[in-house]
């Protein structure tokens, strides 16, 4: 192996990847620029207006509704998915049998697209659909409702569908982390009399911190990016009950042709994501180059 990296190797191996990456960053920079011109309508306009689009955005009520919805989504999606994923991983590991089976059952939704799962869940939630029918059969018809057509429930219904889709992902990562714990650590704890919850709380949980640092940021990012599911199931409705920034951005930029405003929303979304992405990438970097 050559100790020194020669230019020709660099070009051969890394250039195509660098080209793609640089292209992505150029697009990001260009988006930021577009958010500062006054492009509205089909044909571009390049008059520089500074932060006016952002000022306009911050005056729109829809922006705050979406921020709230994204925030609700973040918390109500991230917390149950990671907690349930961890518990599930622990149960599967402790019971010891059927791991492949349970992994398949809980992870298969991760192989589906949001459009597919959105179609499935629209049917589950339909007024004459699956959930209402089951509730009525169980004599619980007082719980039946309009679900995603009900402005008070719709957002939670969508979040639940997302949990359904991501639970397996959280579970698999926790499962890998639990498996990584030294057998001897657990055996020593059991010898010391740790059982059940104590074993989980004091021995397992501290050992899988690094899994939390993977699961929680990635779930947070998915909550921030959420688009397809909302688009397919409710289009942000009823009213703006399930509207999120990503949907607002698309409609502003490509349906209403407030292109610069759309770019401004995208930049806001991007900046919010950096709060998670930068520490995450740094963490990965440290593991990588340690």
Partner 1 sequence: MRWKIALAYIILTGLTLFWILPYYVAVATSFKTLKEVTEAKYLEPPTTLCIDAYIKALREEGRGLLNSLIVSLPATFLSVLIGSLGGYFLARFRFRGAQLIFFLVAVATFIPYQILLVPLVQVMGALGLMNTYAGLIVTYTVLFAPWAALISSAFFMAIPKELEEAAMLDGAGPLRTFFMIVLPVAAPGIVSTTIIVFTSVWNDFLFALTLSMSPEIRPVQPTLAALKGSFVAEWNTQMAGAVLASLPPLVIFLLLGRYFIKGLLAGALKT
Contacts to partner 1 from residues 52-91, by CB under 8 A: 88, 91
Task: Give, as ranges, the residues between 258 and 277 that touch partner 1 (CB under 8 A).
Answer: 259, 262-263, 265-267, 269-270, 273-274, 276-277
- Which span (2-10, 71-79, 149-157, 199-207) binds partner 1, by CB under 8 A? 2-10
* Chosen residue from 71, 83, 94, 188 binding partner 1 by CB under 8 A: 94
- Which span (46-54, 102-110, 150-158, 201-209) binds partner 1, by CB under 8 A? 102-110
Quote the CA–CA distance of 191 and 158 in Å, as a whole number: 45
**Angle, alpha carbons 34-40-46 (nearest 5°):** 45
* Size of the residue set binding partner 1 (CB under 8 A): 104
Assess 92 for contact with partner 1 (CB under 8 A): yes
Quote the CA–CA distance of 162 and 94 in Å, as a whole number: 27
Question: Per-residue contact track with partner 1, 217 to 256, x per CB under 8 A?
Answer: -x--x--xx-xx--xx------------xx--xx--xx--
Measured from the Cβ of residue 261, the count of other Cβ atoms closer than 10 Å reads 25
Please choose, from the candidates 242, 223, 238, 221, the residue with its C-alpha nearest in 3D space to the C-alpha of residue 69.
242
Question: Per-residue contact track with partner 1, 190 to 209, x per CB under 8 A?
Answer: -----xx-------------
Q: How far is CA 225 from the centre of its chain?
A: 6
Q: Per the structure block, which two tokens stand in for 134?
A: 């089951």
Instruction: Look at the block and give the residue holding tokens 């920079």.
Output: 29
* Chosen residue from 155, 204, 211, 241 binding partner 1 by CB under 8 A: 211
236 contacts 69 by C-beta, under 8 angstroms: no
């Amino acid at each position: 192996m050559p100790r020194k990296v020669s230019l020709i190797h660099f070009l051969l191996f890394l250039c195509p990847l660098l080209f793609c990456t640089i292209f992505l960053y150029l697009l990001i920079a260009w988006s930021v620029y577009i958010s500062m011109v006054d492009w509205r309508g089909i044909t571009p306009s390049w008059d520089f207006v500074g932060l006016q689009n952002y000022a306009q955005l911050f005056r729109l009520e829809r922006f705050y509704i979406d921020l709230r919805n994204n925030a609700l989504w973040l918390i109500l999606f991230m917390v149950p998915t990671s907690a349930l994923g961890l518990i599930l991983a622990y149960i599967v590991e402790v019971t010891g049998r059927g791991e492949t089976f349970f992994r398949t059952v809980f992870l298969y939704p991760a192989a589906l697209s949001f459009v597919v799962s959105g179609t499935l869940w629209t049917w589950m939630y339909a007024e004459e659909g699956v959930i209402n029918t089951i509730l009525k059969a169980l004599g619980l018809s007082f719980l039946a409702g309009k679900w995603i057509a009900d402005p008070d429930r719709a957002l939670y219904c969508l979040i639940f569908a997302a949990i359904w889709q991501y639970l397996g992902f959280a579970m698999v990562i926790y499962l890998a982390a639990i498996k990584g714990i030294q057998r001897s650590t657990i055996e020593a704890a059991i010898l010391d009399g740790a059982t059940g919850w104590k074993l989980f709380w004091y021995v397992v949980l501290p050992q899988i911190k690094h899994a939390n640092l993977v699961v929680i940021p990635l779930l947070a990012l998915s909550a921030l990016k959420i688009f397809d599911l909302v688009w397919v199931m409710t289009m942000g409705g009823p009213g703006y009950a399930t509207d999120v920034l990503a949907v607002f951005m698309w409609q502003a930029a490509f349906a209403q042709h407030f292109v610069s405003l759309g770019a401004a929303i995208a930049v806001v979304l991007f900046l919010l994501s950096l709060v998670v992405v930068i520490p995450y990438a740094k963490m990965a970097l440290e593991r990588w180059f340690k």
